[in-house]
Chain A
Amino acid sequence: MSAREVAVRLVRAFLAAGLAYVVTYYLPMTFLLGGESARIAEPVLTPFSVLCIFFSAAGELLKGTGGHYVLEVVRGFAFITYFSLTVGGGELAFVMPTGGAPVVVAVDMTVFFFLIMVISLVEIAISILKAIFYFIEREREEIEELRARLLRELGSSR
């Protein structure tokens, strides 16, 4: 890989990380949530954003390599882990201050988590299949290369 290619990959990784930051953290915190709700959402949103930024950048760096598929599998499991840690026992609870007594709001995330799990598992399966096809293809190319070299060597020896 040439220095130019590395530089291009770095720039693309940087841009992907920036875009992920804007979409997953800056926009929600600035426009979607405001004031108290932003303060409540921040502990949940920050690790999610960090994961998105990391995997966006790493994905761009490893694009076109076998590591990219491995990274996709890791990403699937990382998001499953993140959501299972975030929703704990299936409930996301926070205290909302009101004019009177504080109100505890608890959101049951079981259905949401189930959907995340299903989509993540589908993605993991796709990534594993892609990785298998990628490595098979690479092996085939190597075999083809060896075959061609062998035929060349046989032809020249005759």
Chain B
Amino acid sequence: MLRALSVLATSLWIGLASFTVIAVYFAAAGGVWACLSQPFFITDYDSGVLKLIIGVMVENQAIFDLLNVRAEGELLDGLGNVLCENSTGLYHVGIGGEVDFKLFLCLNVTELATNPATSYMMTRRAKLTVNMTLRMIYAYIFPTKAIITIPADWGPPLLGLRASLMPGPTPDTTCALVAFKNAATFWFKGYVNAYLYGDGELLAQGRAYTTVHKHESKNLSIVLPIDPDRLPERCKLVLAFDTNMFYFTWGVELG
């Protein structure tokens, strides 16, 4: 009985050691490869969503299957705010096989613009970080994950947004001059609404329709029906960008 148990224990040791040595050998010899593409943005103009896409390719030249291969990712800004997160489905990579799939991180620009913690990204450039985790079960008993941090640049759609007031085309009108540059990876179109407040009450409002292409510097003038001589000493101009890609409000004290 004892002899049988000893033989069993020895066989188990030899089996486990051989299995581990073979598994480590193929892993160390580059039997399992994973490649990631550089992250890139594509735009879904219908839903106002920016999709950050990272391509993943996993190749298995080892002698064990790769089970439950999947990627998870989260997009963070430089302040540590989680902008979005997502994961892919599960894939199986057989011996000598390869699989490629894409991880989508969907960034809703309106949510970004309306969140006070992230609204700065509408007017300022930012450094983003993609934390990506690639998970798989290697050689049946070794669940493995590889964590990689990929930097990504963010260009805002309203870079350097500024506004001022000047006399309008007729004596009883005032012009709100709005200037910005679209540094984003998408174009947008829609209305820019201007609201002029003085002492807490709405003095005048106007709107202008515009289309802004990628990398375009834009200068808009919005006519407000108010005599410039009747403007109070201090007033506040609020701009509301109601576009196909985002809704964003921004205010500036003038005077």
Contacts and interface: CB of A to CB of B under 8 A. Distances in A.
B19 to A, nearest CB: 9
A133 interface: yes
Interface stretch (A1-9, A10-18, A100-108, A138-146): A100-108
Interface in B7-42: 8-9, 12-13, 16, 20-21, 24-25, 28
Interface in B98-156: 138, 141-151
Interface string A99-141: 0011111111111100110010011011001100100000000
A123 B144 contact: no
Interface in A68-127: 96, 101-112, 115-116, 119, 122-123, 125-126
Given A32-B21, A126-B2, A115 B141 contact: yes
Nearest to A24: B17
Given A104-B146, A106-B147, A112-B142, A119 B12 contact: yes
Contacts, number: 69
Candidate in A109, A111, A119, A129 with the most chain B CB atoms within 10 angstroms: A119
A37 to B, nearest CB: 4
B141 A119 contact: no
- Is the interface on chain B under 10, 10 to 19, 20 to 34, or 35 or more residues? 20 to 34
B144 A108 contact: yes
Interface of chain A, helix or strand or loop or mixed? helix
A112 B145 contact: no
Interface of A: 28, 32-34, 37, 41, 96, 101-112, 115-116, 119, 122-123, 125-126, 129-130, 133
Interface of B: 2, 5-6, 8-9, 12-13, 16, 20-21, 24-25, 28, 138, 141-151
21 contacts: A32-B24, A33-B28, A34-B28, A101-B151, A102-B148, A103-B146, A104-B146, A104-B147, A105-B144, A105-B146, A106-B145, A106-B146, A107-B144, A109-B142, A111-B141, A112-B142, A115-B12, A119-B16, A123-B13, A126-B2, A129-B2
